[in-house]
């Protein structure tokens, strides 16, 4: 017994090292982007204020560029608004108005938008997250889509605290979305390989898709995070080639914006997200019955 104690006394540093490494490896191996985002959301309750102030100073130096961009965007929206007004005036149909009012009242308007400011943003890791200055008390909830003010895809919200929220960036190797070439409805899978913060990949795009270098790539419209009719911009085709099995194209996309320089974003809530997700889950688990009777489809 004495010899055992003596032996342990001699190697306790090694034992402790193995224990700490073992626990850390276990935690790391079992961590997901979701656990990372949850930790970040909690940490931000402590250091978020300081980050907010530091980003405020940094933000001051980019105001000019942002103002120019916002002015352009306002001009664009004014044009659209004017067009809509003219259309409405031309077809002053009382019934149509009544129908729109009724849909809004019933909660059938599908998307809600909200502006937020980035207070922390990394682009030099393999799993990058963005912290925003708005949380649940401002109406932010997980699974809201995030775009730049000029309509470029940024990511989606994965965790929220009271005052802050954490976004899984498109520059995160766990990020998945779908995209398509403008003018072609075939869909490819968008992901990031972790190599360059300026490029993402679109894999499994049909070989029949019409594709040219320089073509614009937008969201597919089937994503629950981004409005189907909004055409959220992703970037431009930089190069493409057949995949190894020659069954589809793998496309390299140059991102439409430098994510490191983005400081303001727009959050988009899809009111139907939970209903659609529940319905899909029910169908996958075999609990869905189209004849009714306790299906999630019924309210």
Partner 1 sequence: MQRYLSYVGMFIGVVLLQIFLFDNISLGIYFHPLIYIAFIIMLPLDMRPIWVMLLAALMGLVMDMATGLCGLNVIATTAVGFARVFVISLTTGLNTGADDTIPALYRLPQKNLMTYMAVMILLHSVIYFVAESLSMSHLLHTLLRIVVSDIVAVVVIWYIVKLFIEKILNK
Q: Where are the beta strands (DSSP E) in 220-263?
A: 233-242, 248-255
Q: How far is the CB of 265 from partner 1 (least distance, A)?
A: 16
The residue among 116 and 119 lying less far from partner 1, judged by its C-beta, is: 119
Near partner 1 by CB under 8 A: residue from 7, 35, 108, 275: 35
Q: Does 45 bind partner 1 (CB under 8 A)?
A: no
- How many positions of this chain bind partner 1 (CB under 8 A)? 41
Span interacting with partner 1, options 59-67, 187-195, 221-229, 290-298, rule CB under 8 A = 187-195
CB 160 within 8 A of CB 177: no
Near partner 1 by CB under 8 A: residue from 52, 121, 169, 220: 121
Nearest residue to 273 (alpha-carbon basis) of 241, 228, 231: 228
Residues 50-89 that bind partner 1 (CB under 8 A): 50-51, 54, 58
Q: 63-68 long-range contacts, Cβ below 8 Å, gap at least 24? A: 66/263, 66/264
Near partner 1 by CB under 8 A: residue from 11, 39, 63, 109: 39
Near partner 1 by CB under 8 A: residue from 135, 155, 197, 235: 197
The residue among 173 and 204 lying less far from partner 1, judged by its C-beta, is: 173
Q: Where are the beta strands (DSSP E) in the chain?
A: 111-121, 127-132, 145-147, 153-160, 165-172, 177-181, 187-191, 199-206, 216-219, 233-242, 248-255, 264-270
Near partner 1 by CB under 8 A: residue from 3, 5, 28, 292: 28
Near partner 1 by CB under 8 A: residue from 91, 106, 124, 290: 124
Q: How far is the CB of 155 from partner 1 (least distance, A)?
A: 15
Structure tokens at 130: 């963005």
Mask: binding to partner 1, 161-180, rule CB under 8 A, as x and -? -----x--------------
Nearest residue to 197 (alpha-carbon basis) of 125, 120, 266, 117: 125
Nearest residue to 264 (alpha-carbon basis) of 46, 53, 65: 65
Q: Does 25 bind partner 1 (CB under 8 A)?
A: yes
Q: Does 48 bind partner 1 (CB under 8 A)?
A: no
Residues 207-246 that bind partner 1 (CB under 8 A): none
Span interacting with partner 1, options 14-22, 149-157, 267-275, 290-298, rule CB under 8 A = 14-22
Near partner 1 by CB under 8 A: residue from 16, 75, 182, 207: 16
What is the C-alpha separation between 85 and 80, in angstroms, rounded? 9
CB 235 within 8 A of CB 198: no
Q: Which residues of 204-219 are buried (b: 16+ CB within 10 A; e: fewer)?
A: ebbeebebeeebbbbb
Q: Got the DSSP string for 78-116?
A: HHHHHHHHHHHHHT--HHHHHHHHHHHHTT---EEEEEE
Q: Does 260 bind partner 1 (CB under 8 A)?
A: yes
The footprint of partner 1 (CB under 8 A) covers 12-13, 16-17, 20-21, 23-28, 30-31, 35-37, 39-40, 43, 47, 50-51, 54, 58, 120-126, 129, 166, 193-197, 260-261
């Amino acid at each position: 017994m004495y010899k055992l104690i003596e032996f342990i006394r001699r190697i306790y540093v090694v034992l402790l090292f193995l224990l700490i490494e073992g626990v850390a490896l276990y935690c790391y191996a079992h961590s997901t982007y979701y656990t990372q985002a949850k930790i970040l959301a909690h940490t931000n309750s402590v250091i978020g204020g300081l980050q907010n102030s530091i980003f405020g100073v940094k933000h001051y130096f980019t105001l000019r560029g942002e103002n120019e961009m916002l002015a352009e965007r306002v001009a664009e929206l004014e044009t659209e608004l004017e067009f809509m007004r003219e259309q409405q005036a031309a077809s002053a149909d009382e019934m149509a108005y009544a129908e729109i009012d009724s849909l809004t009242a019933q909660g059938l308007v599908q998307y809600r938008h909200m502006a937020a400011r980035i207070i922390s943003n990394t682009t030099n890791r393999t799993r990058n997250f963005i912290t925003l200055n708005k949380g649940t008390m401002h109406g932010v909830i997980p699974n809201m889509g995030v775009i730049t003010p000029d309509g470029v895809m940024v990511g989606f919200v994965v965790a929220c605290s009271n005052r802050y929220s954490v976004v899984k960036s498109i520059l995160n190797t766990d990020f998945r979305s779908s995209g398509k070439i403008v003018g072609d409805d075939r869909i490819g899978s968008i992901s990031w390989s972790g190599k360059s913060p300026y490029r993402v990949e679109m894999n499994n795009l049909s070989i029949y898709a019409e594709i040219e270098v320089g073509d614009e790539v937008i969201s597919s419209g089937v994503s629950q995070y981004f409005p189907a009719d909004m055409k959220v911009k992703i970037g431009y085709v930089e190069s493409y080639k057949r995949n190894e099995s020659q069954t589809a194209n793998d496309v390299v996309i140059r991102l439409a914006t430098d994510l490191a320089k983005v400081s303001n974003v727009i959050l988009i809530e899809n009111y139907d997200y939970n209903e659609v997700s529940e319905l899909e889950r029910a169908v996958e688990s075999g609990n869905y019955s189209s004849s009714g009777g306790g299906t999630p489809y019924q309210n």
